[in-house]
Amino acid sequence: MRKAMNLFLLGGLSLLLAAGCDKFGGEQQYSRAEGEPVIFGVTSGVGTKTAYSGVVTDGVERINWSVGDDFRIYSDKAVHRYHSNQQWADYVVTKADPNGRYSDATIDNKNTGETLGNGQPMTNGLVWGPAGTYHFWAVYPAPAETAATSTLEGLKLNIPVAQDKDVDKNMQFAYMTAIGLSGQGSGSSDISTTSDEGSPVYLDFEPAFTAFEFTMSTDENPIILNSVTLESASKSLAGDFSVSYSGTTRSFSDENGETLSQSITIDLGAQEIAPATETAEAKTVTFTFLAQPQTFNDLKISFNVTADGEASTRSMVLAKDGVGVNFEALKKHILRGTAMPSSLFKIYYKPQFVEADEWVEIGETTNLIVM
Residue 225, domain CATH: 2.60.40
In a domain, 245, yes or no: yes
* Last residue of one domain, picked from the residues 208, 224, 246: 208
pTM for the structure as a whole = 0.81
| Other Cβ atoms within 10 Å of 126 Cβ, number | 26
At residue 178, the pLDDT reads: 85
Domain that holds residue 105: 16-208
Domain count across the chain: 2
At residue 362, the pLDDT reads: 82
| Other Cβ atoms within 10 Å of 321 Cβ, number | 6
As a whole number of angstroms, the distance between CA 18 and CA 132 comes to 25
In a domain, 8, yes or no: no
In a domain, 126, yes or no: yes
Would you say 176 and 139 are in contact if contact means Cβ atoms under 8 Å apart? yes
Half-sphere exposure for 127 (CA within 13 Å, toward CB): 17
Question: Are residue 217 and residue 202 in the same domain, yes or no?
Answer: no
At residue 14, the pLDDT reads: 30
* Last residue of one domain, picked from the residues 187, 208, 229: 208
Question: Are residue 91 and residue 108 in the same domain, yes or no?
Answer: yes
Pick out the chain residues at pLDDT < 70. 1-29, 42-66, 96-107, 112-113, 117, 121-122, 144-150, 185, 340-343, 351-358, 364-371
Measured over the CA atoms of residue 143, residue 158, residue 216 and residue 331, the dihedral's sign is: positive
In a domain, 134, yes or no: yes
Would you say 308 and 267 are in contact if contact means Cβ atoms under 8 Å apart? no
* Last residue of one domain, picked from the residues 189, 208, 227: 208
Sort 325 into a burial class: Cβ within 10 Å, 0-12 / 13-18 / 19+. buried
- Whole-number Cα distances in Å, 211 to 18, 120, 173, 300, 332: 27, 42, 11, 15, 4
At residue 55, the pLDDT reads: 56
